[in-house]
Amino acid sequence: MMNGRMMDFPLTLTHLMERARRFFPETEVVSRAPDGSLHRHTWAQVYGRTAKLAHALTRLGVEPGERVATLAWNHHRHLEAYFAAPMMGAVVHTLNLRLHPNEIGYIARHAEDAIVLVDRSLLPLFEQFAASVPTIRHVVVMPDSGPAPEGRTDYEALLAPERDDFEWPKLDENAAAQICYTSGTTGNPKGVVYSHRSSVLHALAACLADSIGVSMHDTVLPVVPMFHANAWGLPHACAAAGARVVFPGPKLDPESLLDLMASERVTCAAGVPTIWLGILALLDQNPKKWDLSRLRQMVIGGSAAPASMIDGFQERHGLTVTHAWGMTETNPLGTIARVKPSIERAGDKGKTLQVRASQGFPVPFVETRHCDDTGKILPWDGKTMGELEVRGPWVAASYMGDEGQDRWAKDGWFKTGDVVTIDPEGYVRITDRSKDVIKSGGEWISSVALENLLMAHPAVLEAAVFAGRHPRWDERPIAAIVVKKGMAVTEAELAAHLESRVSKIWMPDAYVFLEQIPRTSTGKFLKTRLRETYGGMLEKAAEGR
């Protein structure tokens, strides 16, 4: 073998932040506070404040590899923590503020968090678990809603005396940079430990034109929380590209987001479908109220984006959805639904929409396959269902503490738990999370496919389909429906809407009408709750008969 003669240059987050400061010092990082006011910083200022934070953390005794936790909304201080801890050789650990306090406590103990940076507005939540985490040495309050209370360390006061430059250590690119726990609905959450290298490569992948395509011309609005898979890597990608960033803080209702997108001329926004369903409904009611002419794409993932939503945004409002798939374990970008030129050229609108509503094909360096229960690799025929497995440089190789080792196949591929088909072009289509598949008689019914169809009904805002226990068929589909404001729809009308589109076996046995579908901590439909509450209704009905 002949060796290449190129430099061995470590892939670290330090380079991304230094690049943003050097080449985009005036580019803005905008944050909206809980009271709605906007705070404007620049990448140069964020860099300076990152250095100050690193000095302050050093003064507090933070050692290499130690965990600096955040309990915070999306804002510039959170961004500073995102970079300061890893760049000084420590590890930032993003705590999910939507979890139950006991669960956050478990995660903080498990990760052995030493320092916690907490939003003032979230102090009441923090107090509910703080005492259960013996490893915490210091608590720093980020004053998002007024200065820290008496007796608490205030972030701004802590930073004030420090220098705005730092001699960043030379780091090994494989050093841990960030930890994020899975929001697993079964079993304890597991810690995913990203390295500098994996985060840097992921950031570069997010900047590719056929991926998210983050560029210096963009103004990026990460609606996705910074505690949900690193806000999908967008903070790192924005630093790498020199993009302008707008952080929404805690106001995530459709109206506040639309106001922010219009006033800050956002070009690229990202979040889970539940956010965008609300936004689409509001836009339909007020199609002219907001000027979104700058918005080049909304990146949607985390659960399946319904085809009707993708089409609705495009046809009624000229807005483009980019559908992507990923997981906490994949940093998260895995696949993205870009339409290949050959499909575009064919000009078949229906097929194009089908592709845009798929989970897409992998970005470079992510590899996919799907397997049956015995581990046999299945054909890419667009029909055969199996569990999606992935590998790549930003896919987890193990969890913290080596838990959950059964999630990896013998040859190292990561088992996602998603049931998919893969077509000959490589497009992945999720039919279900394996635990959400409805097993009726011998047949597997895709809850995702039914939800997609139901959400295409003009009166339906949200639909979640889940398994009801059934005395004869084991399980049968039940549909939970949220009707759009000012509209009405009956069970019979929904059944009629589905009838021509699915086989008889797939037709839901029952409908429940709700004000809102319960959500997980990352904004997905919480089907376990639906199953707990309504899963027995078919059995009861059968007894009653």
- CA dihedral over 17, 265, 294, 275, signed as positive or negative: positive
- Within 169-294, where are the H helices? 196-207, 229-232, 234-241, 254-263, 273-285
Judged by CB under 6 A, the residue of 267, 359, 368, 447 near ligand AMP is: 359
Q: Which of 67, 148, 157 is nearest to 115 (CA)?
A: 67
Stretch that binds ligand AMP, among 234-242, 275-283, 318-326, 461-469 (CB under 6 A): 318-326
From the list 111, 107, 110, 90, the residue with the least C-alpha distance to 98 is: 107
Q: Does 80 participate in binding ligand AMP (rule CB under 6 A)?
A: no
H-assigned helices in 37-75: 43-59
Q: Does 196 bind ligand AMP (CB under 6 A)?
A: no
Strands (DSSP E) found in 414-539: 414-422, 428-433, 438-440, 443-445, 460-470, 474-483, 510-513
What string marks each residue from 430 to 469 as x (binds ligand AMP by CB under 6 A) or -?
A: x--x------------------------------------
Taking the complex as a whole, the smallest distance from the CB of residue 195 to ligand AMP amounts, in Å, to: 18
Q: Which of 68, 304, 309, 494 binds ligand AMP (CB under 6 A)?
A: 304
Question: What is the number of the residue whose Cβ is closest to ligand AMP?
Answer: 328
The reply to whether 416 sits near ligand AMP by the rule CB under 6 A is yes
Show the CA angle centred on residue 332, arms to residues 336 and 237, nearest 5°.
Answer: 85
Residue type, 492: A
User: Closest CB to ligand AMP among 182 and 440?
Assistant: 182
What amino acid positions are annotated as catalytic residues?
Answer: 182, 329, 439, 444
CA angle 429, 432, 434 (to 5 degrees): 125
Contacting ligand AMP within 226-265 (CB under 6 A): 229
**DSSP count for the chain of H helices, then E strands:** 18, 25
368 binds ligand AMP (CB under 6 A): no
Q: Which span sits near ligand AMP by CB under 6 A: 15-23, 110-118, 127-135, 327-335?
A: 327-335
Binding mask 329-348 for ligand AMP (x = CB under 6 A): ---x----------------
In the 8-state DSSP scheme, what is residue 377?
B
Minimum distance of ligand AMP from residue 44's CB (angstroms): 33
220-259 as b/e, with b when 16 or more CB fall inside 10 Å? bbbbbbbbbbbbbbbbbbbbbbbbbbbbbbbbbebeebbb
Query: What sign results for the dihedral spanned by CA atoms 331, 334, 338, 341?
Result: positive
Binding segment for ligand AMP (CB under 6 A), chosen from 123-131, 151-159, 298-306, 310-318, is 298-306
The binder of ligand AMP chosen from 12, 183, 230, 440 (CB under 6 A):
183
Please enumerate in sequence order all residues whose Cβ is within 8 A of that of 231, keeping only pairs 6 or more positions apart, or say none. Answer: 74, 222, 224, 225, 270
Q: Considering the rule CB under 6 A, would residue 328 count as an interface residue with ligand AMP? A: yes
Is 428 a binding residue for ligand AMP by CB under 6 A? The answer is no
Decide if residue 327 touches ligand AMP (CB under 6 A). yes
∠ CA(522), CA(527), CA(528), 5° rounding?
100
The answer to whether residue 203 forms part of the interface with ligand AMP (CB under 6 A) is no
Residue 271 or 417 with smaller CB distance to ligand AMP: 417
Element (H, E) at 314: helix 307-317
One symbol per residue from 83 to 112: x for binding ligand AMP (CB under 6 A), - otherwise; what is it?
Answer: ------------------------------
> Contact residues for ligand AMP (CB under 6 A)?
182-183, 229, 301-304, 323-328, 332, 359, 416-418, 430, 433, 522
